[in-house]
Amino acid sequence: MIHFDNSYARLPQGFFARVAPTPVAEPRLLALNEGLARRLGLDPDWLSGPEGVAMLAGNAVPNGAEPIAQAYAGHQFGGFVPQLGDGRAVLLGEVVAPDGARFDIQLKGSGPTPFSRRGDGRAWMGPVLREYIVSEFMHAMGVPTTRALAAVATGETVWRESGLPGAVLTRVASSHIRVGTFQYFAVRGQEEALAALTDHVIARHYPTANGPLSLLDHVVARQAETIAQWMALGFIHGVMNTDNMAVSGETIDYGPCAFMDAYHPDTVFSSIDRAGRYAWAQQPQVAVWNLAQLATCLIPLMGERDAAIEAATKSVHSFAPLYQAAWKRRFGEKLGLTEAADVQPLAERLLTMMAQQQADFTRVFAGLLDGRARDEFIDRDAFDAWAQDWQALDPDPDLMRHANPLRIPRNHRVEEAIAAAVADDPGPFRRLFDAVTHPREERAEWDDLGSAPRDEQVVRQTFCGT
Ligand code: AMP
Ligand code: MG
């Protein structure tokens, strides 16, 4: 039924462990992304039938799949861990879509693997539904991201602080290769494996790159674009460890991620990020730090050492101007401005006011065209003065409508939807999903989902995706 072509599983042995998903008691389809299924050339009716659901739950391995857990390492909050790897996920295999694009089909929460360490290999419904909604919203806004094909309830209990209903997410990505995948081989001094990985990534993601330095340049450029898009949506990834940064440039591993309601650059949600390492405003610097780790891995492949170090350093430093340009383009679109010189001073003035007055990030930008943005400010005169200067530049409304979502997956709404799903009511999840995957569509029935949380609804902390 599905035609697999598993290029990663053809790499040398040390890249992965062959391991099948562990069957679950009572699989039940919670959500199927029919649009994505069709985009992949898969039949939604088959996927939602008994054979499809058995595959999505990990109860049956379809013909042609070669399930593996991928090996990787990574810096977690700056501390290096030489072996992480897929501890609760298996890559079923790769499919080539009708348009020729190649995608990983991965089950997340599919049981233990040789990389599980002390974990149970499982996920509960909360993080599965959160990733499902948030990643599909990101896709709807044009942000490079892994995607969600399906969520299946397992009928089993997962034990965290308490017993919670288990679930499996089917994640789709152009690959799951991370900065940490390179680190895994670099720290072991396995240059042949590093070279094979480099060739694989070039062939798969950057066919115009002509060697490791050029690959690094491409990854740096791609990440600069992606991070600028996060910033423009008020998105906080929450765990930008090197094992959670894909070399494809796709946003990956939605754990304690969250969107800001009230704007402040120092916002952090993750319960484990006590020092604010991954705060909203830190994300570009952290990306550079992570890319420097990738550069370190590639240097041994780049010929004479001093020259290699110099070239790799230069490549990593190219992030700053690329990111600045992308930031100006993205915030320019939000303000309807195309002249880069105009954007920075106006955007910064607006953001400073927003931070001082705790204005809602999404509502301010979505409300600029119809004037409702003014309501988000306490000091209306200051806003009016800004708005006058902005209007004088003749902003383009179409650019703004495209760049500024009317609705985002707000934390309190996501939590509400998860609580209802856990209590066997899928309605709020489906409604929120529809609303945030049509983020630019004005519809009265979704108006409430565009509202900022009331004080008692504000979510101040989010938890890891396990
Ligand atoms: P994360 O912080 O979610 O990116 O995960 C970091 C590492 O922990 C990865 O190697 C995961 O595979 C592993 N991990 C996270 N949760 C579990 C779990 N429930 N069981 C096994 N391994 C896990
Ligand atoms: Mg991870």
Q: How far is the CA of 464 from the centre of ligand 2 (A)?
A: 10
Pick out the residues of the known binding site for Mg(2+).
244, 253
pLDDT (tens digit per residue) in 123-172:
999 999 999 999 999 999 999 999 999 999 999 999 999 999 999 999 99
What mean pLDDT do residues 442-451 have?
Answer: 97
For 242-255, write each residue's pLDDT tens digit: 999 999 999 999 99
pLDDT number for residue 412: 97
Euclidean distance between CA atoms 179 and 185, whole angstroms: 11
Task: Kindly state the DSSP code that residue 249 receives in the 8-state scheme.
Answer: S
Ligand 2 centroid to residue 167 C-alpha, Å: 17
Over 90: is that where the pLDDT of 399 sits? yes
Share of the chain above pLDDT 90, in %: 97
pLDDT of residue 342: 87
Q: Which of 86, 104, 243, 261 is catalytic?
A: 243
Q: Where are the alpha helices (DSSP H) in 147-238?
A: 179-186, 191-205, 212-232
389 is catalytic: no
Confidence at residue 465, expressed as pLDDT on a 0 to 100 scale: 61
Distance 132 CA to ligand 1 centre (A): 18
Model confidence at 462: pLDDT above 90: no
Contact 148, 36 (CB under 8 A): yes
> What is the rounded CA–CA span in Å between residue 107 and residue 443?
34
Q: Which residue's alpha carbon is nearest to atom 10 within ligand 1?
A: 84
Residues by chain with Cβ below 5 Å of ion ligand 2: 244, 253
What's the pLDDT tens digit per position in 286-315?
999 999 999 999 999 999 999 999 999 999
For residues 445-456, give the mean pLDDT: 95
Q: What's the confidence (pLDDT) of residue 466?
A: 64
Residue 436 contacts residue 366 (beta carbons within 8 Å):
no
Task: Supply the pLDDT for residue 408.
Answer: 98
Question: Which H or E run contains 169?
Answer: strand 163-173
Q: Which of 206-220, 301-315, 335-349 has the lowest mean pLDDT?
A: 335-349
pLDDT digits (tens, 9 = 90+) for 21-62: 999 999 999 999 999 999 999 999 999 999 999 999 999 999
Q: Is the CB of 255 under 6 A from ligand 1?
A: yes
Q: What is the mean pLDDT of residues 409-425?
A: 97
Atom 14 (ligand 1) nearest CA:
87
